[in-house]
Chains A and B, each alone.
Chain A
Amino acid sequence: MKKLAAVLSLLICSSLSLAEESTKVDLDFGDFTSVTLMVKAWDALGAGDYEDAVGYTQKCAELYEEKAREMQASLQAKPDADAVNDYWALNDVGTCYFIRGEALSKLNKDAEAIAALKVVRDDLYYSQAWDPKGWHWSPSDAAYPRIQMLEARMEHDF
């Protein structure tokens, strides 16, 4: 009985915190496309608005993660430059998980940051992000050392 009460209380707490999170900031999701959400998340990260960045990535995942996972499952290798944009959901959601990890780490929520980065490293590993300097990069490849760094930061007193 005690155990059930504890579980219920946890569920209530977590739903409360989610509700709080969704009402805490009134974010403008624009046209709700994955690319808009991803760009807004990057911009929020660059502006130091880390909670907002998390919010945009959350919305992107809510709306497009299923499609992203479908695209990932259809692939045997990273798409080449000609085909990369066909996998828009995979790219945007994967990038959003990377941004989410970065934002959470800035908020000193290292365990949550690691969890976000592991989604892109382990599940959405064929996603690619566009660098305005003119090339695509792999959020999955970038996530791998970030996870190691955050784990080290949790384990050792730097």
Chain B
Amino acid sequence: MLLCRTTVVSTMALLISSCATSAQPLTTVGQASQVQVVKQADGSFVLLRDGSPYQAKGAGTGTGQALGGGDLELLAASGGNSIRTWGIEQLEERIDGKNLLDRAHEAGISVTAGFWVQHVRHGFDYSDTASINRQRDRLRDAVLKYRDHPALLAWGLGNEMEAFGPGEADVRIWKELNYLAGIIKKLDPNHPVMTVLAGASASKIAAIHEHYPALDILGVNAYAGAPVVGKGLPGMGWNGPYMLTEYGVTGTWETQLTEWQAPIESDPSSKAAETYTAYKMDRDDNVGRSLGSYVFFWGHKQEATATWFGMFLPTGEKLPRVDAMAYAWSGKWPTNRAPKLKSLTTPVALKKVPLGTRSYAEVDCIDREGDGLRYVWDIQAESTDRKQGGDPEAAPPSFPGSIASGQGTARVEFNVPARPGAYRLFVTVYDGHGGAAVHNVPFYVEK
């Protein structure tokens, strides 16, 4: 049940990322930041940014068209102070002519800059010297280009590169990480190196101790187990500093399945509560070892469903998990809350129904500020483009014509699609002021 989610990010984009960087230093306003991990007399750890203690209250984000994130102003207004990226090309994504680092700096947000260390499962060969050298060259270029940017907090060297495929047993990966970290440290002694794992285990940590001593901060991605992963690290042999680098809701691979193996997505309020709890438990239970965390995902992303991990709709509306993080980070709820979806009821929920079934669904949703609510219903096929490690997935087809009556209201009648198979009924509720709530239930149409 527990533990590791897998990755994010457009693999193809990362594979071609070498074209995106050159060794020209980035011209920015402000001075380069100086960040260090310091072990204190009592054995605890603190991240010092320009001499002051700094705890990352962050979110993983991507501003690419497919990911839609990047509302950094809202992140800052919510009490967040940092973002994490996965691939170095993300730093060049521009909005209003400004790249991500500059936009973050303007918003008062730091950046853990991800450098994508290639995965074996994507075809990278750690015995191919030419490929290894190209990866090293790309890293050198990136460090030289971005090391002096004042928004830079740390280097995120690799994400879940040990998972899947040959994985953690392949010592060449750990040794290469150590070599790459050495490159960073030589070129940029002012920013620590963090490497992110797909969940923690004693064997991974043993491999790091043996082959990767240059690591400064351990990053761990975890989902159902996120609230307790930090607490478990000492028992696995890691007593050093760490960050919870992806967390939020129980993963699609960890959750209850329907009879036809469709993961059941939690309701938006439960997802908000789960995200809040993961943050709070990790922070409170690991003082002196946790240097911060990054919630997943400040944007939108198709992964099993369009709404599982994303904290925003593709049209930009925030979902209740954004408000939950604002409360977690700042102790205050935002002035305008996303609507609260109290229940979604339909007789077909989690059931197999015959072809030709006509049914109904109703949603009970409130808006705390009394905003008028707009309801949009949709039926979508169950995703068949399921990938590992957060690799990009195609959205399944939708069947809006199935909604027979009531579209736009809190109660609809619908006809199940004419082809047997697995589907989901979605409802999205908009408050008209930048907030929304969305929920879905799977059902299956039988011959």
Contact = CB atoms under 8 A, between A and B. Distances in A.
Interface of A: 42-43, 45-48, 102, 105, 129, 131, 137-138, 141-142, 144-145, 148-150, 152-153, 156-158
B273 interface: yes
What does DSSP make chain A's interface, helix, strand, loop or mixed?
helix
Contact of B273 (A46, A47, A131, A153): A153
B350 A156 contact: no
A19 to B, nearest CB: 27
A129 B227 contact: no
Contact of B280 (A47, A102, A138, A152): A152
Contacts of A153: 269-270, 273
B281 interface: yes
The 10 closest A-B pairs by CB, nearest first: A48-B350, A145-B227, A153-B273, A158-B272, A137-B1, A149-B277, A158-B269, A158-B273, A148-B277, A152-B277
Interface string B265-280: 0000110111011101
B258 A47 contact: yes
Contacts of A105: 270
Contacts, number: 70
B276 A156 contact: yes
B269 A46 contact: no
A43 B259 contact: yes
Contact of A46 (B228, B259, B274): B259
B270 A148 contact: no
B389 interface: no
Contacts of A144: 227-228
Nearest to A133: B253
Contacts of A102: 256
14 contacts: A46-B257, A47-B350, A48-B441, A137-B1, A141-B2, A142-B2, A145-B225, A148-B281, A149-B274, A152-B277, A156-B273, A156-B327, A157-B340, A158-B272
A22 B87 CA distance: 57
Interface in B78-100: none
